Amino acid sequence: MENITNEYEILVNPRACRDIEDIYKYISSEILEPIVAKQQTDRIWDAISLLSTFPYSHQDRIVGRYAGKGYKQLLIDNYMVIYRITEDKKIVTVVTVQYAGRNI
């Protein structure tokens, strides 16, 4: 079925889901802040959902292994969502979510 709206479908790779789960586990178990962990992961999921309407409003990925390959990055607090847009199918695919200080 053709997408007649301007919205994009969001696909989240299993790796990105695990990344978000790991962020929650780290903040709740290592830092011992389960409420903060929930708030952080909620902010990440909320930001990802906004990609359905504005996927081009974020930076191209210019460093790391995803640089120069058509990926974009979205910063949320200290975390980075790396994603790719498939324009002809109106799909945004979230590849990974990492701590922004990592060299990915």
Domain ranges across the chain: 9-99
Is-contact 41 20, C-beta < 8 A? yes
Residue whose entry in the numeric block shows the structure tokens 């990925």: 61
Q: What is the Cα–Cα distance from 48 to 92, expressed in whole angstroms?
A: 9
Q: Residues of the chain whose pLDDT is less than 70?
A: 1-5, 102-104
The reported pLDDT for the residue numbered 102 is 65
**Top CATH class, 9-99:** alpha beta
CA distance 104 to 68: 13
pLDDT computed for residue 5 by the predictor: 65
**Amino acid 23: pLDDT:** 97
Closest CA to 44 of 67, 78, 72, 11: 78
Report pTM: 0.89
Query: Is the CB of residue 9 less than 8 Å from the CB of residue 3?
Result: yes
